[in-house]
Amino acid sequence: MGGTVRTFTRFIAFAIAVASVAGASSGALAGGKPLSCYRQVVVPAEYRTVHETVLVRPASSRVVEHPPVYRTVTERVVLQPERISYRKIAPIYDTRARQVLVRPASVGWEYRTIKGEQVLCKVQHPPLYRTVHEQVLLKPGGQVAVTVPAIYGTRQRQVLMQPGRRQVVTIPAEYRTVARTVKVSEARTVWQPVALGGQCR
């Protein structure tokens, strides 16, 4: 469309130039019947708005420190290990009685009174015993080994679950869409047809 208008404008300009030359060379042609009339019109420059993406902030990176992660655990520990202890055992006794000969059997002479008369008699003396009590060892004393079980307790300690690390975090670039006005065409002068409501002067 723009090319057609420019072609038409050049044609009109050429026609007017020819007419001017013809009019200058021959005044007899002036005052003829007009077939079409044109006037010069200034067409302003044409603009349009375009949108474009511009960089606001370039991409960057930063380092994030992640500390190590620990967990508290409770564990069983030996406070005193198992050991062998020795215990004394007293001897065991039993009390038993037995007869002890104090005087053996014997024969002796003694005066006896028989029917009011004192006579000398030969007398048989039986053995004389006495009961004595004594302790008899049934089981001797000694030592016996006794196992003393271990003694346990608990303690808490920190266990590393995840070591510390460094993480590089990338921050993407930031863009923004901006609008700006650009010139599409320059201002120009064109010939515009004029309606023949009357006669061109």
Domain locations in the chain?
1-47+185-201, 83-148
16 vs 169, residue with greater confidence: 169
* pLDDT band at residue 35 using 50, 70 and 90 as cut-offs: confident
Q: How far is CA 58 from CA 167, 171, 177, in A?
A: 20, 9, 15
pLDDT digits (tens, 9 = 90+) for 88-97: 999 999 999 9
pTM of the model: 0.34
pLDDT reported for residue 94: 92
Mean pLDDT of 101-129: 90
For the cut 50, the answer to whether the pLDDT of residue 147 exceeds it is: yes
For the cut 70, the answer to whether the pLDDT of residue 7 exceeds it is: no
pLDDT reported for residue 133: 92
Assign residue 115 a region (left: φ > 0; alpha: ψ between -120 and 50; beta: otherwise): left
| Both structure tokens of 63 | 């380092």
Taking the C-alpha atoms of residue 44 and residue 188, their distance in angstroms, rounded to an integer, is 7
pLDDT reported for residue 160: 94
Mean pLDDT of 8-16: 53
pLDDT reported for residue 18: 45
Q: Tell which residue, 195, 189, 187, has the closest CA to residue 13.
A: 189
Taking the C-alpha atoms of residue 185 and residue 165, their distance in angstroms, rounded to an integer, is 60
